[in-house]
Structure 1
């Protein structure tokens, strides 16, 4: 009597693990951002720009209060007013940090390795955005603190540092810098060139709004108010004209999300 043994079926393959995939991508991007010199140079450049710009603006404010022309008198002002004005130039160091997180990989070709390790291009961009925000928020607080430490002694009796308002302004500076840093990252994913991305950002944040306002046309003024640089400015200054700070923050956030979505679409459409 012959007995037959049923063939053994292979055990079903275990489902692929999906938990921790984003965490791994974030960990990889965190390692990369701190392992390149451009990050350290960008942070150092931001610190130097903040110190120099805040000091210079504080000198202008103190001199305006002490010259012979009473029309120039600015009176006593919060030190963070000077810091907020200094952000206009300091932000470009943070923009460089954000855009280089993408463009440096395209330049060196390491973006191919990144995409092989994490095939989901949306996940790659999200991980880069989270790491950029995680770096620029504390960096923004530090840069704002440097501005206060430099501008305060220069202003002397013409400057005040109310604790609650100062902390609020420093947090606003950190949030603004984080958003524009991530915006730069998303735009860099579309353009893939550090120089081109920086030019577009400079035009969008500084040149175009000023040019539109020079024409003194109401409709163009409204367009300028909706651009990311102006929206961020209204958020930082806390004024109510033409809209409150919360609307400025919402507009800047919308621009940042739009840049990330455009970057994700560009990464999915084109080869690395």
Structure 2
């Protein structure tokens, strides 16, 4: 068999795996409920944060004044809570198959376990990126009118913020998928994600010791915040993006190793 034929066969098999994963993701009600939850949480969070920002400028304490706030800034702040609905999309894309036992059927249809996980990662990344664009739009549409005279939404900057949020959510969605493949439990995966994204870095930052702060800066949640905020300290925003992508890639490699090592 020629190399070209083998390559074509593999490409066809991967397209089939992609189609199967897409169908499975959208054929279960949990996906749709999770997407709806993401939209509702984003709308509520963006609205609440916009109210806080507007009130800070109008209360009796001048120290609270924030000045004019962009809708994109409110959107980015709202991601801290909203991201967990998006993480659920990634982890449920594989943990539900372990729970129901359908992972055995999946691996019978596509014995190459790396191909299965890669197909899931592509579908999860695409869906969570699109969801991120939707959530970004919802957040801006809610925040801007609530901010009133204390808000602005410059077109180029707002679009950039929405795309950055979608990119961040796509990467943490893939991170959740990889950990879900390794841990096989939705509850355990969400606990590990919560610890990795929030609890551990906050615990490291709390003493305000330089070396611990530097360690916290390489965790995915903190790196993502530096990316979203466009920081230059302690590293450029693009480094934050690369760190987050590295965590997502490492999680996939771990998930692939565990899939190959353990029975379905």
The residue number in structure 1 matching 2:182 is: 190
2:113 corresponds to which residue? 121
The 5 A counterparts of 1:139-150 are 139-150=131-142
1:91 is displaced (CA, Å) by: 0.3
Match of 1:204 in 2: 196
Matched, 1:261 2:259: no
How far off is 1:18 after superposition? 3.0
For residues 43-192 of structure 1, the aligned pairs below 5 Å read 43-192=35-184
TM-score (norm 1): 0.94
Structure 1: how far apart are the matches of 2:206 and 2:174? Answer: 29
Distance 1:65 1:241 in 2: 27
The structure in which a higher percent of residues are helix is: 2
Give, in whole Å, the separation in 1 of the partners of 2:244 and 2:165: 13
Distance 1:90 1:102 in 2: 21
Residue 119 of structure 1: SS of its match in structure 2? coil
What TM-score, normalized by structure 2, do the two folds share? 0.96
Q: 5+ residue gaps in structure 1? A: 1-14
1:215 partner SS? coil
Between structure 1 and structure 2, the one with the greater Rg is 1
Alpha-carbon deviation of 1:19? 3.4
Distance 1:155 1:207 in 2: 31
Counterparts of 1:18 and 1:233 in 2: how far apart (Å)?
A: 38
- Deviation of 1:51 after TM superposition, in Å, equals 0.4
Measure the CA separation in 2 of the matches of 1:168 and 1:105.
36
* Whole-Å separation in 1 of the counterparts to 2:226 and 2:10: 41
What are the ranges of 5 or more consecutive residues in structure 2 without an aligned counterpart? none
Which residue, 233, 239, 255 being the options, matches 2:225? 233
1:252 matched to which residue of 2? 244
